[in-house]
């Protein structure tokens, strides 16, 4: 299958590209940088360089690619999560919303029937730890009831 991936060089896009290549798909991947385009080409991916905020440029590359599927993986996630790195969240939101809208519009204009959009929810460890430990007594209670019923 011929698949266009917008955001194929990021934290989620890289393993996705590897998996799709392993399955034998023909890939075209959108990137912002010539360096990343070279890395994609070395993997056997056809790279295209465009600014995702430029709707005309995105329309042009998707139209030329003529994919069967478009996958939107646009993110700008930091390598390490710190208070400072999370200040980039505004750009990430713009990339996903405005850039994603341009990719979707380009896919529609190209007549693509299959469009996959990545979704994400970031939650800190402390959130899950608090959630789990607040519920621990009821979890233990249900667990012991299940064991005694099964015995």
* Domain co-membership, 66 together with 140: no
CA atoms within 13 A on the CB side of 45: 30
* Domain co-membership, 53 together with 95: yes
CA distance 65 to 70: 10
Tokens of 132: 């789990």
CA distance 7 to 3: 12
User: What burial letters (b/e) apply to 117-132, b meaning 16+ CB within 10 Å?
Assistant: ebeeeeeeeeeeeeee
Say yes or no to pLDDT of 132 above 60.
no
pLDDT at 23: 94
User: Model-level pTM?
Assistant: 0.75
Q: What's the pLDDT band for 136 if we cut at 50, 70, 90?
A: low
Map residue 75 onto helix, strand or coil: coil
Backbone angles phi and psi of 62, in degrees to 5: -70, -40
* Domain co-membership, 19 together with 83: yes
Tens of pLDDT, residue by residue over 66-114, are 999 999 988 877 667 677 766 667 777 788 889 999 999 999 999 999 9
Q: How many domains does the chain have?
A: 2
* Domain co-membership, 111 together with 134: no
Q: Supply the range of the domain harboring residue 150.
A: 125-151
* Domain co-membership, 88 together with 134: no
* Domain co-membership, 11 together with 72: yes
Tens of pLDDT, residue by residue over 35-78, are 999 999 999 999 999 999 999 999 999 999 999 999 998 887 76
């Amino acid at each position: 299958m011929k698949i266009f991936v917008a955001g194929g060089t990021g934290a989620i896009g890289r393993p996705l590209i590897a998996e799709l290549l392993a399955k034998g798909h023909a890939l075209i991947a959108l990137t912002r940088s010539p360096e990343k385009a070279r890395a994609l080409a070395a993997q056997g991916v056809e790279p295209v360089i465009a600014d995702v905020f430029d709707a005309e440029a995105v329309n042009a590359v998707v139209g030329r690619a003529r994919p069967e599927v478009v996958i939107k993986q646009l993110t700008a996630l930091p390598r390490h999560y710190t208070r400072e790195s999370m200040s980039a969240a505004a750009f990430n939101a713009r990339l996903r919303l405005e850039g994603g809208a341009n990719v979707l519009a380009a896919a529609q204009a190209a007549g693509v029937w299959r469009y996959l959009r990545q979704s994400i929810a970031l939650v800190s460890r402390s959130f899950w730890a608090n959630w789990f430990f607040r519920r621990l007594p009821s979890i233990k209670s249900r667990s012991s009831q299940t064991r005694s019923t099964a015995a």
